[in-house]
Amino acid sequence: MKEIQKIKEGISLGLSSVGGLHQVSRSIIVAAPCAEVFDFLARPANHSTIDGSKSVLKVLEGPERLYLNARFRMSMRLFAPYKIWNTVVLFDEGKSIGWRHFGKHVWRYDLEEVADSHPRSTLLTETFDWSNVPSKFMYELFRIPARNTKSIELTLDRVVAKFG
């Protein structure tokens, strides 16, 4: 019962490597319906408001709301400022959205309604997947997955606060 209470309070769940060895995921309960959370995540202008890494600065180009194969350009800062194009590679309205840039790793969100929750709630999972990256060992050498895991946890906490 204590574990369920922690989840409802918005504390992140554990590491998941479902689907492959080169992924990190965290999940959290958001006190809002899937449709609302998904719509928020599908708008690149919102990404800087929740980004736990503090590297996403603002959207520069692209559609107001994402869709499969949509391209959007972001202003970023990680050690130095840069601009990067992303392409939506996964889009299932209300359920899943993911994008990648030239580095081939994928950021994705998966959403699932929490049964019998009042108010309606969403189990939100964010995943960093570097399984398509040619130089996986470099990602691990530079501890990119570990850093991104911490950023994911902060991002999910910010999503909870947004809908709290």
- Residue in this structure with the two tokens 């499969």, named with its chain if needed: 68
Cα dist from 65 to 2, 31, 35, 47, 70, whole Å: 38, 22, 13, 12, 9
Q: Which helix (H) or strand (E) holds 59?
A: strand 56-61
Q: What does each of the 164 residues of the chain score in pLDDT, given as a tens digit?
A: 233 333 444 444 444 334 468 999 999 999 999 999 999 999 999 999 999 999 999 999 999 999 999 999 999 999 999 999 999 999 999 999 999 999 999 999 999 999 888 789 999 999 999 999 999 989 989 999 999 999 999 999 999 999 98
Domains recognised in the chain with CATH numbers: 2-163 (3.30.530.20)
Residue 118 amino acid letter = H
